[in-house]
Amino acid sequence: MSLTFKAGDMTIHRVIEDETTFRTVSQFFGDQVSPELLAENRAWLKQINALEADDVLRICFQSYVVRTPHHTILIDTCIGNDKSRSQFPAWHMRKSDTYMRALAGHGLSVNDIDYVMCTHLHVDHVGWNTKLENGRWVPTFRNAKYLFAKREYAHWETEHKTKGLETNGGSFDDSVLPVVEAGKAVMIDSDHQPDPMLTIMDYPGHTPGSIAINLKDGGKQACFSGDIMHHPIQVYHPDWSSQFCSDQDLSAKSRRKLLEDCSENGALLCPAHFPGANAGTIKPQGNAFRIDWDVQK
């Protein structure tokens, strides 16, 4: 399994916090997956280590660091330490050095990051935005600007007015608002371009403001898709939306559009949660798609 990819002059590092079992297929996708369809896909999913016994899905929690000639960009920040996450016992009050060791393994420290970009603001994509310091939540990446999609932030800000500390499992209060209060947040539209190689596309549905982050160098392109898709099975069945999607129909439309875009552009798809080989290029296959895994070392 490669932890680093190359695309033109871009270097893409995976920073893995955890790769683990998560939910059963039925818990994750509901009744969209019939026993017959699951049986058709079970063998190859097990072969790529994306499905375990009793049809439990494996997923990865990770960030990507992209080094361009201009900037060092961190995409999504996983789960984090010291966060109260009682509804997610495996994430509750974590004290782990895995994430920071993985970052250091690529020769990077928190001070080297120029931009932190969140594809959306769910709890498992913002955790390392902040760290606990003298009893206060402060930005982890102190030299970085944090770029939040304007529509995504507005949704959670509105929800926060009624739900308060319950918003997004507590993560809005401990992993998003402290960044805003520190003056490190920049609310962006899809035409914002902080790096000459970078563009942003809206793919709503998983959350109201979900984005994909595209980086292009000449003929080489990479697409960081966040949770527009969660699992390799969705490449082959893009109409299957997870139970975590706020609008399952819109999520399915956005997922299909993203796969079409990646196929047309020859982009290296870098999803947030695929286990194992993780990244690959998308090709049309019938009424859906397939993924050709990247095997760089």
List, as one string, the DSSP characters of 111-143: GG-SEEE-SS--GGGTGGGEEEETTEEEESSTT
Mean pLDDT value of segment 49-60: 96
Structure tokens at 61: 């929690």
pLDDT recorded at residue 9:
87
pLDDT at 107: 96
The predicted pLDDT at position 224 comes to 98
CB 112 within 8 A of CB 150: no
Assess whether pLDDT exceeds 70 at residue 164.
yes
Tell me the C-alpha to C-alpha distance, in Å, between residue 154 and each of 159, 178, 275: 9, 16, 31
CATH number at 4-293: 3.60.15.10
Amino acid letter for position 182: A
At residue 2, the pLDDT reads 52
Instruction: Specify the residue for token string 């818990």.
Output: 27
Least confident of 190-194, 225-229, 238-242, 291-295: 291-295
**Euclidean distance between CA atoms 67 and 74, whole angstroms:** 9
Give percent above pLDDT 90 in the chain.
Answer: 94
Helix H, strand E, coil C: the string for 39-83 is: HHHHHHHHHCCCEEHHHEEEEEEEEEEEECCCCEEEECCCCCCCC
How many CA atoms are closer than 13 Å to the CA of 182, on its beta-carbon side?
22
Structure tokens of 130?
Answer: 């902040």
How much is the mean pLDDT over the chain?
A: 95
Query: 197 in helix, strand or coil?
Result: coil
The pLDDT value recorded for residue 214 is 97
**198/222 Cα distance (integer angstroms):** 10
Question: Are 174 and 164 within 8 A, CB to CB?
Answer: no
Extents of the domains making up the chain: 4-293
Side chain identity, residue 95: K
pLDDT at 219: 85
pLDDT value of residue 297:
40
Q: How far is CA 294 from CA 68, 274, 278, 279, in A?
A: 20, 13, 8, 6
105 near 144, Cβ under 8 Å? no
